[in-house]
Amino acid sequence: MRIVVPVKSVPDLVEEIELTADETGIDREYLTFVLSEWDAQALEEALLLKDAGGAQVVAVGLADDPEIDQILYTALAKGADAAVKIADASVAGLSGPRVIRTADRAALLAGYLADQPADLVVTGVQAADDLDGQLPATLAALLDLPHVSVAVSVVAAGGSVTVRQEFAAGRSHELQVQLPAVIGVQSARQAPRYAPITRIRQAQQAGGLTEVAVSPRAAGAGLVVRRMHRPEAGGHAEMLTGSAGNVADQIVGLLRARGLVKG
Amino acid sequence: MNDEVSSNVMVLAEHTGMQVSEGTYELIGKARELASALGGVTEVVLLGRRAVAARLDGADIVVSVEHPALEEYLPEAYEQALLEVLAQRSPRLLLMSNATIGLDLGAALSVRWDAPLAGYVSALEIDGGAVMATAKILGGKVLAEVELPGERGIVTVLGGAFSAAAGQLASTPEVVDVTPPAGLDALRMSLRQVFEADGGDVDISSADMLVSVGRGIESQDNMEIVLELAGALGVPLSASRPVVDAGWLPKTRQVGQSGLKVKPKVYLAFGISGAPEHLEGMRNAELIIACNTDPGAPIFGVAHCGTTVDLFDLVPELVDKIRG
Ligand SMILES: Cc1cc2nc3c(=O)[nH]c(=O)nc-3n(C[C@H](O)[C@H](O)[C@H](O)COP(=O)(O)OP(=O)(O)OC[C@H]3O[C@@H](n4cnc5c(N)ncnc54)[C@H](O)[C@@H]3O)c2cc1C
Ligand SMILES: Nc1ncnc2c1ncn2[C@@H]1O[C@H](COP(=O)(O)O)[C@@H](O)[C@H]1O
């Protein structure tokens, strides 16, 4: 079974996000980029499928994504069999504030998958910077494949996969899905494995990244971003300041006033 | 097939068995407002459970498709049925929840119905005939105001963004039946089993107060300090999704879209950023007190009181003062 795992870097949300001067995108220059956490879950689920019954796992990213080499080498160090970069600089719209064009990303990946078909595509259910849709369903629609999102378990079963799809309040459905298919992973059956730095270095030295050019599938109509802005700092929270001890006193005072702490 | 785009606003009803989700009423309420601005009516698509139509009295028209494959939610079956409904009814806008069903169908319908999609939407209005949406991206750290160009569009809406009461009216909608498309008999997936939620040791949704912890706690070992605080207060410990995914607390303690909705008198949040999926589960708490070292954390947008003191300094102080 050939499993393709599309991966993407997103701004590290621990940092302050700066907007571009025209306020229609994110200023990427000073941001740190990390692997989208749901893609990390998808890669783990793919590696679990490989561990369970043998599969070839291929991690695929876009060549112009920040930190993509490091992300792909890490995927190799974790056990991916191959890592591919799709050259994307030529695609119009991808060089600007491209964080919002999930549709363009899907068009490129669909082009790659049309050339190099997969039995199973597993990718993150969403990415923090998606705005015009999520990759799994977009890809599946472009390739006319069945798809399931918000998966919390994917197990191979002959020519199909058994997928657990999650809903609110802990309800879930178990689905049988014919291959080829696209699955959007919410969380893997276990926490993503750790790649020791020595293994990542070995992967870098081995230099196993392949770069390919593809013809993108046509992407649908996009949105027009009129303006981006940050929510008002602090919102409506009254900020409690002072030492930890002072703040603790204020919080305990609030709880006492409501009769939730005795004394 | 109907090539003429109507001015109607369509909502996909979400239901488990006969129970219509709260989010469906939120969408119907908003759809009524938008439809009146556009000069159209509100249509609600009801798949697989025609009997639920009686509970959708905020709708002007209920469009029903009946087929055994639609009895429970099944992504491919819903997609095919919706494409048929969209082709026949040509609404101006389709609204869905930005939860599992919207994440499954929104982007696929955007490609197959050829309409722009805005996801993570928290505000929606008609501005001079154009559909304008505000979307929360980057975990709620950025709001994007977008226009959906063209003559039709799809919007997936965050839970809690709009009032549910506005979608619950005393009226009797007309029910229109749509013949199920043939594709429903040749699906590439099937539903094997439905799992109901496990009952937990404690029910966090009935607690007066919750101590809630997020990824800021960093490790399982550190969970000790928040457990101690919950113990000192005599209240349950709840958490954001990553803490549950890491296996540090059971699923029954998860607050949010894919966890439980809670409405305690006090919600104490430590090291939780306030992603839209988390806020959905706790924004209606009476008093929200948030501790997060990042002053730009979106949790401060819903908290009543906040502090940027480090949780590892604050929590032990709280324990000491409560124990007295
Ligand atoms: C379909 C779907 C459903 C989802 N359902 C849910 C759900 O039900 N519930 C849910 O919670 N999430 C849900 N999520 C995940 C959600 O998108 C976020 O990823 C998640 O809520 C983030 O959890 P967090 O705030 O604990 O972690 P983070 O976003 O990583 O935030 C950690 C915070 O801790 C702060 N911090 C770090 N160190 C300290 C310190 N020493 N002291 C104080 N603060 C500190 C940081 O500043 C940061 O803001 C869902 C996602 C999807 C796609
Ligand atoms: N291992 C645990 N996992 C989750 N919750 C716990 C755990 N231990 C204690 N709690 C909860 O934390 C609160 C305080 O527990 P205790 O410290 O045992 O008094 C209670 O609501 C317990 O249910």
pLDDT band of residue B198 (cuts 50, 70, 90) is confident
Q: What DSSP element (H or E) covers A229?
A: strand A224-229
Tokens representing residue B218 in the block = 């960093």
Question: Which pLDDT belongs to residue A93?
Answer: 47
- Does the CA dihedral B47-B181-A137-A42 come out positive or negative? positive
Q: Which helix (H) or strand (E) holds A141?
A: helix A135-143
Q: How far is CA B14 from the centre of its chain?
A: 11
The span from the CA of A122 to the CA of A136, in Å, is 8
Nearest to A137 among B99, B105, B208 (CB): B105
Closest ligand 2 atom to residue B235 Cα is 21
Q: State the nearest Cα–Cα gap between B236 and chain A, in angstroms.
A: 13
| Domains annotated on chain A, with CATH | 2-214 (3.40.50.620)
Listed range (A21-25, A164-168, B163-167) with the worst mean pLDDT: A21-25
Q: Which residues of B touch A223 (CB under 8 A)?
A: 116-118, 146-149
Nearest 5°: the CA angle B236, B238, B242 is 160
What was the pLDDT predicted at A184? 98
Cβ–Cβ below 8 Å for B310 and A176: no
The CA distance from A9 to the nearest CA of chain B, in Å, is 12
Contacts of A41 (CB under 8 A, 6+ apart): A124, A185, A186, A187, A188, A192
The CA-CA-CA angle for residues A45, A49, A54, to 5°, reads 150
pLDDT tens figures, B79-96: 999 999 999 999 999 999
For A113-130, the pLDDT digits (tens) are 999 999 999 999 999 999
Report the percentage of chain B scoring pLDDT > 70: 99
pLDDT value of residue B57:
87
Give the separation between CA B139 and CA B241, rounded to whole angstroms. 13
A positions 61-90 inside 8 Å of B (CB): none
Q: Which ligand is nearest to the CA of A16?
A: 1
CA distance A85 to A98: 17
Report, as an integer, the average pLDDT of B262-270. Answer: 98
- Angle (nearest 5°) at CA B240 between B236 and B246: 100
Report how far residue B33's alpha carbon sits from residue B26's, in angstroms, rounded to the nearest whole number. Answer: 11
Chain A: closest CA distance from residue B314 (Å): 5
Confidence of residue A110 (pLDDT cuts 50, 70, 90): very high
At B35 the pLDDT is 97
pLDDT range class, residue A64, cuts 50, 70, 90 = confident
Helix (H, G, I), strand (E, B) or coil at B113: coil
Q: What is the pLDDT of residues A85-104, one digit of tens each?
A: 999 755 544 444 444 478 88
**Residue listed under structure tokens 């001079």:** B128
Report pLDDT for B291: 98
Instruction: Look at B117 and A132 and tell me if their CB atoms are within 8 Å.
Output: yes
Phi-psi region of A205 (alpha: psi -120 to 50; beta: other; left: phi over 0): alpha
**Interface residue of B26, B74, B80, B146 to substitute, partner A, most A CBs within 10 Å:** B146
| Per-residue model confidence (pLDDT) at position B106 | 97
Looking at ligand 2, which residue's alpha carbon is closest to its atom 2?
B249
Q: Does the reported pTM lie above 0.90?
A: yes
The alpha carbon of B260 and the centre of ligand 2 are apart by a number of angstroms equal to 18
Q: Does A9 touch chain B (CB under 8 A)?
A: no
Cα distance from A200 to chain B (closest Cα, Å)?
23
Tokens representing B1?
């097939």
Residues 125..144 of A with a Cβ closer than 8 Å to B: which?
Answer: 125-126, 128-138, 140-142
Q: Check whether B199 has a pLDDT greater than 90.
A: no
Give dist(CA A190, CA A193) in Å, integer.
8
- Among A73-82, B200-209, B301-310, the least confident range: B200-209
Residue B105 CA to residue B49 CA, distance in Å, equals: 19
What integer pLDDT is reported at residue B164 of this predicted model? 94
ipTM of this predicted structure: 0.91
Taking residues A186-214, report their average pLDDT: 95
pLDDT: which is higher, A171 or B4: A171
- DSSP-based three-state secondary structure for A153: strand
**Ligand whose nearest atom lies closest to the CA of B254:** 1
Higher pLDDT, B17 or B225: B225
CB-nearest partner of A249 from B192, B246, B321:
B321
B73 touches chain A (CB under 8 A): yes
Instruction: Write out B238-290 in H/E/C secondary structure.
Output: EECHHHHHCCCCCHHHEECCCCECCCCCEEEEECCCCCHHHHHHHCCCCEEEE
**Beta-carbon separation of A247 and B135 below 8 A:** no
Q: Quote the ligand 1 centre to B214 CA distance (angstroms).
A: 6
Q: For residue A99, what pLDDT is reported?
A: 46
- At A25, the pLDDT band (50, 70, 90 cuts) reads confident
Instruction: Give mean pLDDT, residues A6-15.
Output: 93
Coil, strand or helix: which one is A35? strand
Lowest mean pLDDT among B16-20, B79-83, B237-241: B16-20
Q: Ligand 2: distance of its center to the CA of A52 in Å?
A: 35
> Stretch A212-220: mean pLDDT, rounded?
85
**CA B215 / ligand 2 centre spacing (Å):** 18
More confident residue, B223 or A235: B223
* Amino acid in position B323: R
pLDDT at A112: 96
Mutation test of the interface with chain A: which of B98, B266, B307, B323, choosing the one with the most A Cβ atoms within 10 A? Answer: B307
Would you state the structure tokens that stand for residue A50, as one six-digit string?
């490989």
Of B246, B258, B313, the CB nearest to A191: B246
Q: Which residues of B touch A99 (CB under 8 A)?
A: 137
Rounded to 5 degrees, what are φ and ψ at A94?
Answer: -90, -10
Which band of pLDDT confidence, cut at 50, 70 and 90, is reported for residue A216? confident
Q: With contacts defined as CB-CB under 8 Å, which chain A residues touch B138?
A: 10-11, 13, 17, 26, 128-129
The predicted model gives A177-193 an average pLDDT of 97
Mean of all residue pLDDT scores within chain B: 95
Q: What domains does chain B contain, in order, with CATH numbers?
A: 9-185 (3.40.50.620), 204-323 (3.40.50.1220)
Average pLDDT over residues B298-305: 96
Mean pLDDT of the region A7-23:
91
